[in-house]
Amino acid sequence: EFVTILDLYNYLSKRQSIETSSQKLILINSEEYKIAFLVDDIQYIKTIDASKLYMHENRGGNKFVYAEFYEGEELYSILNIEKIILDKQLLINIS
């Protein structure tokens, strides 16, 4: 069985990621898609209250950002995985 791996850093920033021993894969395995995202690291998994999200309407930012939220003074972005997977640049055949 084959799984497509997308280097998320390279795809979003158009720069080559630096290979490290801490790199991880996030596997999306649904009825429609089977894809893995190569990421630098996974610090933690967190549940976020929807009322704390600032919905992103592509206000000049990254078209793949779904929403943002603050934790303390840190701003975090939540990616829209479906938009990434369906982006024409990837040429993924989902049929």
37-82 pLDDT, tens digit each: 888 888 888 898 989 888 866 555 678 888 889 988 988 888 888 8
Tokens of 30: 């649904």
Tell me which residue has tokens 């993924």. Answer: 92
Four-residue CA torsion sign, 84, 64, 82, 18: positive
How far from chain centre, in Å, is Cα 27?
Answer: 11
Binned at pLDDT 50, 70 and 90, residue 87 comes out as confident
| Choice between 17 and 8, residue whose per-residue pLDDT is larger | 8
Tokens of 73: 């003074």
Confidence (pLDDT) at 66: 87
pTM of the model: 0.67
Q: For the chain, how many helices (H) and strands (E)?
A: 2, 6
The CA distance from 49 to 46, in Å, is 10
How far from chain centre, in Å, is Cα 1?
Answer: 23
Binned at pLDDT 50, 70 and 90, residue 85 comes out as confident
